Amino acid sequence: MANDVNVFVKEFYTTYVDAVRTKLDENGQPIPFPNPRPGDPRYLEEAYTKPVDMVVLIPAHHPKEEIPHRIVDVKRNAPMWEKIGPAYENWKQGLETPLSGTPLAAWNGISHREAELLKSFMIRTVEDVAAMSDMALTQVPIPRMRDLRSQAQIWLKAQDSNMVRAELSRRDNEIEALKAQIESLALAIANKSTPAETYEWTPSEQLDDPLTTKAKMDEMRADYLNAQGRDKDPQPVKRKPGRPRKVAVEGDEAAA
């Protein structure tokens, strides 16, 4: 029982035991023992009635066995206290101990009479039925207990599968909603500005190739020169070294 956490809580209760404690004065300080002798306590002591919280545990493998434990002892067993602690705290607050699992009333694989009989053995949930040991099955006066345990195990597995499917469906819906938001955002961005790489130029808007443009200009220049009776541009006069001579203007020669 010390290391077995597969137990059921039958009840909590408080008992009282005689104990001795150090006697305190009106200021809450220990009162020294007067004229102490070897072996005498250092302080005065007094008898009192000490409350002790208890819990009655029933092993899952032996539902007819009831074993009382002090709460202070149960707290030293971490796995045991993890299971019993919440129920104890509820009891201290005057609350009803909540069921850890699916109540038998929510399971359609058992009759009302069978459920009430199982509750008398502190088997109150479908999980309790599924976890029953072979020895515990023989303690309950229900002929089809092995079949009930198998049905409880199958039912719990089906519930787990349903929960997994529901979780996957929820995640799929979230993903689809995110996809729709992304598409809507992308469409809004596209409507505000069209990227340059997606713009389609029409032939009339295309720029001429620089080489083609130069050829056209050369052709136009040649046509102009032919019209002037020349087939090429006049060669510029080369400048000789020294200061250029002054060229007389026709108007000045006439005046002279």
Tell me the pLDDT tens digit for each residue of 144-170. 888 999 998 998 888 777 666 676 777
Hey, what are 119's tokens? 């509750």
54 and 70 Cβ atoms separated by less than 8 Å: yes
73 and 79 Cβ atoms separated by less than 8 Å: no
Q: What are the pLDDT tens digits along the chain (256 aa)?
A: 445 567 778 888 888 888 888 888 888 888 887 887 887 778 888 887 888 999 988 887 777 788 899 999 999 988 888 888 888 888 888 765 555 678 887 788 888 888 888 877 778 788 888 888 888 888 888 888 889 999 989 988 887 776 666 767 777 788 888 888 888 888 878 776 555 444 454 444 444 555 556 676 777 777 766 766 655 555 555 666 666 565 555 555 544 4
- The model's pLDDT over 120-134, given as tens digits with 9 standing for 90+, comes to 777 878 888 888 888
- In the β-sheet with 7-22, what is the strand arrangement from edge to edge? 7-22, 45-59, 67-70
Distance in angstroms (rounded) separating the CA atoms of residues 128 and 142: 15
Spell out where the chain has E strands: 7-22, 45-59, 67-70
Q: Phi/psi at 242 (nearest 5 deg)?
A: 95, 180
Distance in angstroms (rounded) separating the CA atoms of residues 181 and 133: 53
Beta bridge partners of 22: 45
Domains and CATH numbers, the chain: 1-98 (no CATH), 100-190 (1.10.150)
pTM attached to this predicted model = 0.40
